[in-house]
Structure 1
Amino acid sequence: MTGDLRHTPLHALHLEHGAKMVPFAGWHMPLQYGKGILEEHHIVRRDAGMFDVSHMGEVDFRGPGALSAIHVLVAGDAGKLPDGKALYTVSCREHGGIVDDLIVYRFGEQHFRIVINAANVDKDLAHFREHAGSHCEVIDRSDEFALIAVQGPRAVAIVTELAGDPALADVPGFGLRDTTIAGASVTAARTGYTGEDGFELFVLAADAPAVWRALHGAGVEPIGLGARDTLRLEARLSLYGQDIDETTNPYEAGLGWVVKLDRGSAPPFVGHAALSRIKAEGPTRRLAGFVVEGRGIVRPGAEVLGEGDQVIGHVTSGGPAPTAGGAVGLAYVPVELPADAPLRLRQRGKELTARQVKGPFYKRPR
């Protein structure tokens, strides 16, 4: 690992837990702890685990023009957000390509926050300031905050008990509530990236170790990036840089539902004209989910074959599905390919067959 990688405020605690550290998006991040990726995956599905996601970026928008700035930057309809609620959506280039997928949080009429992917912080900030910097203050707060995701069937109960705040249990999905844990001020957002219930906790960087220790003392196990990837893939949540990027648009990526072309009197967002055209004409490809038949795991980059072994698409994500069973993945395929057609996949000269699947591979019990 090179010396110019950054450490999150929780780096020392990862080492105490015996984490295997790897470089990720310019940071030293835990790949796994002593229990291994498979067991960490099962801990989150069955109990509760916590992730250090402090490498994610936080950008605040403040001032009378905050909402108009958000309107310009995101394809969702933030105008319908009440205080204390959040919205998953995308920000796009003029040609409709995805700059980032992100969550918009509304704290008040003149205060919004966007959480962005770690590898995109500099790019997103430049995009935000170029297109919305004249509307309001655009403040990079990424270094001020740590972000701890607590996920799993027991996550909400544990965080609620630690905070001594029964109202936390009633926070709705994509809702927010300010509370206190281990003497630290925390904003708890009922969001996540695992397919499980739980909270993502915004806490000042200096207070993060105390909150982490309190969670660990309450029985929440630390979980690394390896299990985070298997969890999100089972839940069929896209990964920026693999399943989506600036060469993909929301409609072909299965994210058309986050795009609101008709937002009344709100100003059009960047990429509105391009996405209007793409929706009218229809995308030429789609992101298909698949389950591998028989044994074998398909990794990103594997080819999707058509007639005559012509390459008609590529796998973007693939790996084991510890809870759902077998091996699963995502691949871009032509829209003409029937949704019930088997997929022929070629990886390192070996051919495998997969069946297409709609929806997530795993869905948590309600």
Structure 2
Amino acid sequence: MREPVELRRKRILAVIHARGAVSVSALAAELDVSVVTLRRDVEELSREGKLRRGHGVARPVGDAEPTTPVPAPRAGKRDEGPSADGGAVALVVPERHSYLYETLHGARTALEQAGMRIALHIFPQSAGAERPQVERALQGGARGLLIAPRWRSAAEEEADYGWLAGVTVPTVLMERRPRPGSALHALDSVCSDHWYGTHLAVEHLVALGHRRIVLAARNDSPTARSIRAAFAEIAAARPEVEDWAVVLSSPNAGPDRSAAPDGAAPDLAALLRERGATGAVLHGDEDALMLVQRLAESGVRVPQDCSVVAYDDVVAALGGTPLTAVAPPKADIGRAAAELLLHRLAHPAGATGPVRRTELLPSLEVRGSAQRLHRAE
């Protein structure tokens, strides 16, 4: 199924806001679209005043015209020579991850305001791809590290604990919370309180009278695993919830990229009918929009037949039915992580205070995809 235009343009804006000026050709390659399509999107976004375009370059509104275009780095590649990171803060994030690009934008803003040079490293989706990027950054002389590992599975996460704990420069994890007692427990981190975000979603549906609720969620990131665990705990503990279930939100939503042996999309409509469910929490946004479309094709109307709360709020508002969504404070996460790293860099070793594990609370953006359940008398 083709990517919706609104979603693609949201991804374009997220990348440009995170990095500044980006060449159109490099951006097209990274987003896996044709240069012609990308150029058309950039022209439309420019007409809407959402970005500025120049000679083969797109940049955020308000950016000064640079003398040399700044290309978007490709995954696994470096734009500059071996000393490019000298004295800079290295930002290490996964490719094609619009959620974390918003986090990256918050970090970039704080670092630039502090006059700190930034070296961006983007790693591909293969397991273990974070480590080579970090090693390159350190070899290049990076003085600090902000990192958001992908960690598609718990095993992949555990495999990174040892080497990441041994990084010799100040390091802050963004939107990641390592396992308690692990080698990274005592590493600075800033993330969203996803238990609270899940609570907001369930509380909203329960307050509207829904007693049978389904979670359709991913299972390929620490955020996804936190949401699934929180939902099971919260739903089981709420006396109002009569029945609940969890299903993967898309065929490639698991850590091995195969939710179903035949690769078929989950039949959420059938599950809702089987369980008598009238409410659903859908993670993440792109999957949520696709699931709502498939519900409509199956005769299930949102919100008339099923009330929906999405989780992530990256593109939830762009659907034909704008989705009520839990909105983690993505940009604030990046900003807080950068400020914590700046604090570490500004003080001598041993004089920066205790390790900090900061959690910021998500909010609920109500848009009307959930409505009060009217029970038959």
Q: Shorter-chain TM-score: what band? A: under 0.3
Higher helix share: 2
- TM-score, normalised on structure 1? 0.23
- TM-score, normalised on structure 2? 0.23
